[in-house]
Amino acid sequence: MTDQQETQPPTTLPAHLRNPVTRAMVRVQNRIVRAAREHLTAQGFTELRPPIIGPVTDPGGRGSKQIDIDFYGHRYKLMTSAILYKQASLLAFDKIFCVAPNVRLEPLETANTSRHLVEFHQLDVEIAGASRNDAMNVAQDIVATAAAAVVADLEDELAVLGRDPQAFAALLKEDAPFDRMTHADAVAGLSRLGHPQNPDAEIDWEGEALLSVRADRPFFITDYPKGSRGFYDRENPERPGVLTNFDLIAPEGYGELISGSEREHDYARIVARMRETGENPAKYAWYLDMVRGGIPASSGFGIGLERLTRYIAGLDAVWQATAFPKTPGVVSA
Ligand code: AMP
Ligand code: MG
């Protein structure tokens, strides 16, 4: 990855689609999805296709706006994530995954992060009865399995992309768990690097890049503060204000790949957390009716497919990791 990152998508879609880099990227992405599907299916996961519209969706995005549509006179949303339907899916199966599109009107400031698309996909996993640790292990396995498959099978594509397979030497050599640091450790580390980070908020883009650049394998940040996430990340009962959640950060400056957590599943807790996060519980009628009837405790996570593709393919910007890029504020195909 270069320091000087390209942030604008190519002028025309045909030029992007004819670019050998795009073709190599698509093959890498296909291999990533196939590796994840095969791995999860072998572990007993069932793949579902979640809806793309509904009366409510994940409110958890960092400052992004939802897109409304007119559903026969009712205001519906395009899905910003599959979280509500992932919890619902556990009524049918204990271990589920999906690969689904999400749409978020990201703030214009994110147009230059090289990490934000308006339309992207998540490879989403949810596991009934699982701890955060169980979910982190599954997340690590998917990233390692996908990188190994690309390195083993797509030497020519990596050459077209200029991606040195040695970039994954540390990831593929050690069988050890990825390093873990708490959000509080990350804040302290950033302060030592001269980067002031608000201890009550998400790690900012610049801070995340500083930590990411220093790593040679992906690593986890755990225990984010309550104000930084949606109502569904479970609050640690022994440490009020701290969430039992995690992000997986890619090395080399590529930044966040995954967010996940243990989930709130108790009706009263969910309603309380909705109120605390400024959500109106009345809007979540179908979801809260379901929760009142009982949903399993669970843990899960979402992998940004284009973010993972960007890291594995070694691309400068995330718009290069999709055949049909839509970046914040840019009117395009
Ligand atoms: P979140 O729950 O908001 O953390 O989203 C889950 C994952 O989706 C993130 O860890 C990213 O990998 C990916 N993601 C979120 N927002 C975007 C975006 N605007 N563009 C591309 N990928 C995204
Ligand atoms: Mg996140």
If you measure from the C-alpha of residue 60 to the centroid of ligand 2, how many angstroms do you get, rounded to a whole number? Answer: 9
If you measure from the C-alpha of residue 218 to the centroid of ligand 1, how many angstroms do you get, rounded to a whole number? Answer: 16
Residue 130 lies in a domain: yes
Q: Is the pLDDT of residue 3 over 50?
A: no
Residue 46 bridge partners (DSSP)? 96
- The CATH code of the domain that includes 67 is 3.30.930.10
If you measure from the C-alpha of residue 247 to the centroid of ligand 2, how many angstroms do you get, rounded to a whole number? Answer: 7
If you measure from the C-alpha of residue 276 to the centroid of ligand 1, how many angstroms do you get, rounded to a whole number? Answer: 23
Q: What is the pTM of this model?
A: 0.96
Residue-wise pLDDT tens digits, 111-141: 888 999 999 999 999 999 999 999 999 999 9
> Residue 5: what pLDDT?
45
Q: What is the rounded average pLDDT for all residues in the chain? A: 94
Tell me the pLDDT band of 259, cut-offs 50, 70 and 90. very high
Q: Is the pLDDT of residue 106 over 80?
A: yes
Q: What is the DSSP string of 233-287?
A: BPBPTTSTTBBSEEEEEETTTTEEEEEEEEB---HHHHHHHHHHTT--GGGGHHH
Mean pLDDT of 264-274: 97
Tell me the pLDDT band of 9, cut-offs 50, 70 and 90. low
List of E strands, 104-158: 119-128
> Residue 275: what pLDDT?
95
Q: What are phi and psi of 176, to 5 degrees?
A: -70, 155
Q: Which atom of ligand 1 is nearest to the CA of 318?
A: 21
Q: Which ligand is nearest to the CA of 249?
A: 1
> Residue 113: what pLDDT?
85
Q: Residue of the nearest CA to atom 11 in ligand 1?
A: 304
**Residues 303 and 139: beta-carbon distance below 8 Å:** yes
The lowest-confidence range among 8-22, 74-88, 143-157, 232-246 is: 8-22
Q: Residue of the nearest CA to atom 23 in ligand 1?
A: 304
Q: Is the pLDDT of residue 263 over 50?
A: yes
| Strand, helix or coil for residue 103 | strand
d(CA 327, CA 319): 7
Q: Residue of the nearest CA to atom 13 in ligand 1?
A: 304
If you measure from the C-alpha of residue 43 to the centroid of ligand 2, how many angstroms do you get, rounded to a whole number? Answer: 25
Residue 243 lies in a domain: yes
Residue 120 lies in a domain: yes
> Residue 311: what pLDDT?
98
Tell me the pLDDT band of 8, cut-offs 50, 70 and 90. low
Give ion ligand 2 contacts, CB < 5 A: 259
Nearest to 94 by CA among 54, 44, 142, 57: 44
The lowest-confidence range among 10-19, 72-81, 185-194, 207-216 is: 10-19
Residue 116 lies in a domain: yes
* Contacting residues for 331 by C-beta, under 8 A, at least 6 apart: none
Q: What is the DSSP string of 25-74?
A: HHHHHHHHHHHHHHHHHHTT-EE----SEES-----SSSPBP-EEEETTE
Residue 144 lies in a domain: yes
d(CA 255, CA 209): 6
Element of type H or E holding 75: strand 74-78
Residue 326 lies in a domain: no
Residue 276 lies in a domain: yes
> Residue 10: what pLDDT?
63
Q: HSE-up of 91 (CA within 13 Å, CB side)?
A: 12
Residue-wise pLDDT tens digits, 39-81: 999 999 999 999 999 999 999 767 899 999 999 999 999 999 9
Angle made by CA atoms 190, 195, 201, in degrees to the nearest 5: 75
Residue 88 lies in a domain: yes
Q: How many domains does the chain have?
A: 1
Domain that holds residue 85: 13-321
Q: Residue of the nearest CA to atom 16 in ligand 1?
A: 116
260 lines ligand 1 (CB under 6 A): no
